[in-house]
Amino acid sequence: MFLILAQGVIAPYMAGRPFVAMKSRIYLDHAATTPALPAAVAALTAAAALPGNPSSVHAAGRAANGLLESSRDAVARFAGVPPEQIIFTSGGTEALALAMNGCAVPLIASATEHSAVLAARDGVTIAHVLPSGLIDLAALEGLLQSGPALVAVQAGNNETGVIQPLDEVAALVHAHGGLLLADCVQSAGKLALPDADYIAMSGHKLGGAMGVGVLIARDPAGITAVQRGGGQERGHRGGTQNLPGIAALSAALDVAHDWPAVAARRAALEARLVAAGAIIHGANAPRLPHISNIGLPGVAASTQVMMLDLEGYMVSAGAACSSGKVKTSHVLEAMGLGPAAGEAIRVSLSPATTDAELAAFAAAWEAMAKRLGKLP
């Protein structure tokens, strides 16, 4: 549970003076960002104290570069790839953009991809999904008849948690001479990384810090740098590396979590809400353990988010990448849900989320539904 203070700051002190907590709040938006783990904060703090630039050749620079490369080695071990395949970026969005804009081939993306994919390039060919949220493999094969392409597919959807059959997608793409870009921003650390040509990850979804991401490139030589500059990251991404963020990411990857227990708590929550009249979108497909997309028929998602926030529960309506706007979910629209696409909220858990917090949220959701005339 978090205490949100008068200035909206999650901290007990500022300038040495304690604030009075206005309301006890429960944070259930971990798919947007999850708090940095203590090990990550410690690593970030230690790295931030280093004076050197990793590109400098003096002693301080060599020390900073040593930390950079040891962190790269740690991420490579996590991914099971050589360190040369690890390219550090400013986040998941840049990692995806580097793969998509650094490869001079047509781009195909599933209709439920994150906007970081769908808005990254002009002329993206959309591959339809089934009502379950799973990609339509037959439709994808039809698109691949036009020739080799880079195909972008999420390992697990950021709004519904639906897990895509990436082994089948990879086989299909490679059979047609194409390349697979797997968006693993939500799934990394929860599922094994897939066999893909490019994999994107993001630090702040893993218990690291905001502002750092990773592109894993099977053949780094096949990428043309998009952000050019001083030749950092072996010429693949110009700009001084975010060493504190990279160190925090490396530390976060070493922390084990009990995701089956998270899935069990999510299942219990959903069972209670369905009994009260909720609809769980994506429930007919395999899903990531921490995401639940909950529909309340006839009530706009924005209304639900605001009412729950007033009661102290922080949830979202879809992705948290629209400048604070609540819009109809393109993911749910692609699944053919019609008006229901604008009537769903996303609840996302962390391993630290408790049964008591979820029980309190369920009671608040039921009270909201009753107040709105959706429950007797």
- Please name the residues in contact with 310: beta carbons below 8 A apart, sequence gap of 6 or more: none
Residue 321 is a catalytic residue: yes
Tokens 């991404």 -> residue: 237
Whole-angstrom distance, CA of residue 139 vs CA of residue 130: 10
Pick the closest to residue 303 from 240, 352, 349, 372 (CA basis).
372
Q: By the 8 A CB rule, do 208 and 245 touch?
A: yes
What six digits make up the tokens of 42?
């410690």
In 3-state terms the chain splits into helix, strand, coil percentages (rounded to 5) of 40, 20, 45
- Please name the residues in contact with 216: beta carbons below 8 A apart, sequence gap of 6 or more: 79, 81, 85, 86, 87, 193, 198, 199, 200, 201
- Please name the residues in contact with 135: beta carbons below 8 A apart, sequence gap of 6 or more: 110, 127, 128, 129, 153, 164, 165, 169
- H or E element: which one contains 133? none
Pick the closest to residue 364 from 19, 24, 46, 114 (CA basis).
24
Options 139, 321, 367, 372, the catalytic residue: 321
Pick the closest to residue 87 from 178, 219, 182, 229 (CA basis).
219
Q: What is the DSSP letter of 2?
A: E
Pick the closest to residue 266 from 286, 232, 292 (CA basis).
292
Whole-angstrom distance, CA of residue 146 vs CA of residue 226: 26
The strand pair at 150-154 and 125-127 is best described as: unpaired
CA distances from 72 to 199, 216, 317 (A): 15, 11, 34
CA distances from 79 to 96, 117, 299 (A): 17, 22, 42
- H helix count then E strand count, the chain: 11, 15
Residues tagged active-site: 321
